[in-house]
């Protein structure tokens, strides 16, 4: 059934009021590759690009790598008078804001910070504390 001109105008008006437009340019041949990829996942090109942007933005909110810790003396000095469980809770709360959890390896004494798609290993508590302080 063909769409009437009035219905087309109504749809255009709705889209204009409720969506922002973004134009992207891709190298020749890339458009077909993007379309094929989106179709293989059962998505429109627009939905695929929107999902890719959302995933990248969520991933960019989290730190990707643990910084190299050269000198742990400052971190150790800050922890001398505070019970370890209190410091761990403080770090857990901070990492929770970034969507991460902490696992402690009882054998090695090390810590693992677990994000949705990334894990970061720390050999000791001082390295973990230094990482959390840099967030």
**What pLDDT score was predicted for residue 16?**
93
Residue 8: pLDDT band (50, 70, 90) is very high
Task: Supply the DSSP symbol for 112.
Answer: E
Average pLDDT over residues 97-105: 82
pTM of the full structure: 0.43
3-state secondary structure 43-98: CCHHHHHHHHHHHHHHHHHCCCCCCCCCCCHHHHHHHCCCCHHHHHHHHHHHHHHC
37 within 8 A of 48, measured Cβ to Cβ: yes
Q: What is the mean pLDDT of the chain?
A: 80
**What pLDDT score was predicted for residue 82?**
58
**Domain coordinates in residue numbering, the chain:** 5-61, 73-133
**What pLDDT score was predicted for residue 63?**
66
Average pLDDT over residues 54-72: 67
* Segment 18-39, tens digit of pLDDT: 999 899 998 998 999 999 988 9
């Amino acid at each position: 059934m063909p769409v009437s001109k009035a219905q087309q105008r109504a749809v255009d008006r709705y889209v204009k009021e409720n969506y922002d437009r973004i134009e992207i340019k891709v190298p020749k041949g890339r458009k077909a590759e993007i379309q094929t990829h989106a179709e293989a996942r059962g998505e429109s090109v627009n939905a695929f690009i929107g999902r890719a942007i959302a995933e990248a933005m969520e991933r960019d909110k989290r730190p990707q790598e643990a910084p190299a810790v050269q000198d742990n003396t400052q971190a150790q000095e800050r922890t001398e008078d505070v019970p370890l469980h209190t410091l761990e809770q403080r770090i857990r709360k901070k990492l929770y804001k970034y969507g991460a959890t902490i696992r402690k390896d009882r054998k090695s004494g090390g810590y693992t910070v677990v994000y949705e798609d990334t894990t970061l290993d720390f050999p000791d508590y001082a390295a973990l504390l230094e990482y959390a302080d840099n967030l």
